[in-house]
Copies of this chain bind each other. A is one copy, B any other.
């Protein structure tokens, strides 16, 4: 499954050929991302220029100039570009890897639906249970790593209200929760997957599968789904180290602070000293280049958050639920029959 595919979005990409168009987009743009710090930065810079030009005494100016030169040296000495390059490309590689391995519910449900005998007494009920539990297990997995989903379904009761969980199931899961206080969601997910294994065993015992060997295929698909859930958790739990993010962040911010002071005051030409003092393009550009780069790395290291470019897990869940409903319907009716026979 996927999200956020809209014509306007795909239209963006092809507009790139005309190189300028993309510069004037606002949605997801760097302007929207950084306009606030930008204003603060420029205001601070100009304030310092005004102080230098109109407030300071001559001796204070000499100190100011020395500090400005020191800050210039500071900003150019730190190896920030390579640090950001390695940090961001590592984060992005992980981001893409996470995105490609998100667990999907469609396959495991579809092969179950198509493997059951058609007129079995319990068939429809089994399918309904099986697919609901797959969705439930998916939800428990993503609740662990995705704040918006956690907010939407903060507890078992909210899941029951949403129809993903029944009363007596919730009671049983609460027992699991009480055993594993700190990481209960993970164990809830595992418990629900065990229920699904039970369904498979029961179907096999009652001869509900068209071919006896079909049971094995279901187990394989279910274990692959479980592994995929665990991998998603692993990616999130063993991510870019916090300390690395701190180091990169501190470095960028300290360069930003120093670059507020950093200016070449030795050049006494009227035109350029005015530019240097009141149109700090070079400093601003350099700092916001670093800052935006840092943001990309930071966004990429937390793909399930609430940023614009993050993966919209809530919408994704909705899409999985609809897909599951369509597959359940397939057991009873065959939409294609009427199409074929026409």
Asked whether A202 lies within 8 Å of B10 as measured between CB atoms, the reply is no
Would A223 and B5 be within 8 Å (CB), given that A326-B194, A337-B202, A339-B195 are in contact? no
CB-defined contacts of A305 to chain B, threshold 8 Å: 13-14, 16-17
Would A230 and B78 be within 8 Å (CB), given that A219-B110, A336-B196 are in contact? no
Would A199 and B336 be within 8 Å (CB), given that A1-B230, A249-B22 are in contact? yes
Contact with B along A223-247 (1 / 0, CB 8 A): 1001100110110111101111111
- Near B by CB (< 8 A), chain A positions 293-328 give 293, 295-296, 298-299, 301-302, 304-307, 309, 311, 323, 326-327
Q: Which residue of B lies closest to A96 (CB)?
A: B94
Assembly CA distance A115 to B201 (angstroms): 9
Residue A144 at the chain B interface, CB threshold 8 Å: yes
CB-defined contacts of A82 to chain B, threshold 8 Å: 81-82, 85
Partner of A77, one of B125, B234, B282: B282
Interface locus among A39-47, A49-57, A156-164, A266-274: A266-274
- Near B by CB (< 8 A), chain A positions 138-178 give 144-147, 150, 166, 168-169, 172
Contact with B along A6-38 (1 / 0, CB 8 A): 110111111011010011010111110100000
Assembly CA distance A194 to B292 (angstroms): 43
Residue A134 at the chain B interface, CB threshold 8 Å: no
Assembly CA distance A270 to B59 (angstroms): 11
Contact with B along A210-225 (1 / 0, CB 8 A): 1111111101100100
Asked whether B233 lies within 8 Å of A5 as measured between CB atoms, the reply is yes
Partner of A334, one of B92, B202, B214, B227: B202
Count A interface residues, CB 8 Å. 158
Partner of A227, one of B107, B183, B230, B295: B107
CB-defined contacts of A94 to chain B, threshold 8 Å: 96
Beyond known contacts A13-B236, A14-B147: 11 more, CB 8 A cutoff: A5-B237, A12-B242, A19-B249, A28-B242, A62-B269, A78-B286, A104-B227, A194-B330, A201-B330, A211-B216, A247-B289
Q: Which residue of B lies closest to A13 (CB)?
A: B302
A–B Cβ pairs within 8 angstroms, 20 of them: A5-B236, A6-B183, A11-B147, A13-B236, A13-B301, A13-B302, A16-B302, A30-B242, A67-B272, A74-B281, A77-B282, A83-B85, A107-B223, A111-B219, A194-B327, A197-B336, A198-B335, A199-B340, A243-B296, A254-B281
CB-defined contacts of A335 to chain B, threshold 8 Å: 172, 194-195, 198
Residue A126 at the chain B interface, CB threshold 8 Å: yes
A165 to chain B, nearest CB (A): 11
Asked whether B219 lies within 8 Å of A296 as measured between CB atoms, the reply is no
Asked whether A239 lies within 8 Å of B13 as measured between CB atoms, the reply is yes
CB-defined contacts of A241 to chain B, threshold 8 Å: 28, 296, 299, 309
Assembly CA distance A244 to B74 (angstroms): 26
Asked whether B254 lies within 8 Å of A2 as measured between CB atoms, the reply is no
Complex A-B, nearest 4 residue pairs according to Cβ-Cβ distance, in ascending order:
A198-B336, A66-B269, A79-B81, A30-B243
Assembly CA distance A49 to B38 (angstroms): 34
CB-defined contacts of A231 to chain B, threshold 8 Å: 100
Assembly CA distance A88 to B79 (angstroms): 15
Partner of A92, one of B28, B73, B90: B90
